[in-house]
Each structure stands twice: as structure tokens, then as C-alpha cells.
Amino acid sequence: MIRLYGKNQVVERLKAHPKTIKKIICNQSTDNRFIKKLAQQFNVPHLFLPDEEFMLLAKNVNNQGVIAETQDFLYNDLQNILQLPDEEKLTLIALSNITDPQNLGSILRTAACFSRFALIIPRHRSGSINETVLRVACGGENYIPVIQETNLIPAIKQAKDAGYWVAGTVVEEGEDITGFKFQFPLCLVIGSEDKGIRPGLIAHLDFKVTLPMPGARLSLNTAVATAIFCYEVARQRK
């Protein structure tokens, strides 16, 4: 079971996948009439608890007076995504060495905002979709397929076999994205701020891209860099 905390998370899940919600618990001291209305509309069990009982359940997590108990997160199948018709192809974001749930949640939220993306995360040496990730994603998980693979290299090979171009994001010696034309369908490989992309993946890239940063020689947070790349990909994809 996974718990969702806060109105945005619960409302987005109710709108997108109400059947995944087992129960909604509200603090009776909080105005949750809209949550109650949606729960009734989708026939989702819901109840109201007094302050003391609710706070024991919330365990000091910021919750805005509402918690939803849901089924475990369901990952998508890579082949189902790769076999989408050409006009429905999604841009893949393969995450390498991303272990921080805050970054993973932010990336998920960004991808949802720009639309038509799917995330691929490895099973090992990577974060997985947990309650912290979902809190940061603020409902983004409802709109972006997430695929979990044992290893990214076979996943990237499958994407290439399906006609995808593979671009890796690097700090130096990559093509400047402000003048680079992406090829679609596209798989964008993004590494962590400290370790970058795993060396074994580099040989499978079709090209490397980088962000021009003429200012201080500092590194961008992975989630921030991903947001910029997603914007440029979405702009070119139109």
C-alpha cells in the first residue's frame, strides 16, 4: 500500500485513476467537501477522523487534511510504449544514477507538465517510485508512464530497434541544444549531477547534448537540467 498526502495528489489520482484508491481519510476539522464530492462521484470509500486520530495516521507528513490509501505503484511495460503508433510515440527519458527521490519526483512532475514523455528507471542503483517521489510529483505519476527495467542497456537497445534515436546529456563536449536539431522518436538519457551517465551507456548513444552555461562553473541540479531539456524537446517536437 502507498499513501498519498495532500489535496493535489488525491484530487489528481481521483480524476485519473480512481480505481487505484482503496480509501480516502479526511480530517474532520478541514474543509474537504470537494474531496468528498469526488469520492462519492467515483464510488471511492472515504471517512472522516477527529484531529488526534488523523494526526497519528499522518505521522507529521504535510497532508492538508487528506490522505488516500492506494494500491502499490504499477509500472508500465516497455514494449507497450515502443509499439505505440508513430503519431502517438512518446519521448523516453532514461535515468542513470538517479537515486534521490526528490529529483525523481521533480522529473516526473516536469515530464507530466510538458506531456508525451515516459520515464525509464533501472531496478538497481536507482530510486523507485515511493511515497516521497509521489509527494514531490504532485500527481504527475498519473499522466506519465514509468517503466522499470533491470538494466538500461537492453532497454536502450530495444528502443533503438524500434527506431528511436538515443541522446545522452553531458556537461562537456556535447552538442549545444540551442542549435541542435533532435531526431524523433527520441530517447534522452540523463545522469546524476555527481556521477553523470554510467560509462557502459555511453557507447550506445547516437549523439551527446549539453546545456550552454556561460556563467559560474557550477553544476545544475539534475531535476533542473531535465526541465530545460524537456522544454527544448517539447518545443522541437511540435
Q: Residue ranges per domain, the chain? A: 2-70, 78-237
- For a pLDDT cut of 90, what percent of the chain falls above it? 82
The DSSP-derived string for 46-110 is: EEEE-HHHHHHHHTT---TTEEEEEPPPPPBPHHHHHTS-GGGPPEEEEEES---HHHHHHHHHH
Assigned CATH class of 2-70: alpha beta
Per CATH, is 78-237 categorized as 2.40.50.100?
no
136-171 as b/e: b if 16+ CB within 10 A:
bbbbbbbbbbbbbbeebbebbebbeebebbbbbbbe
DSSP assignment letter at 219: P
Q: What is the pLDDT of residues 185-216, one digit of tens each?
A: 999 999 987 788 888 899 999 999 998 877 76
State the pLDDT at residue 125: 77
Q: Which of 64-73, 82-91, 192-201 is predicted least confidently?
A: 192-201
Q: Mean pLDDT for the chain? A: 93
Tell me: pLDDT of 81 over 70. yes
Question: What pTM did the predictor assign?
Answer: 0.93
Q: Please, which pLDDT band fits residue 217 given cuts at 50, 70 and 90?
A: low
State the pLDDT at residue 220: 81
State the pLDDT at residue 224: 94
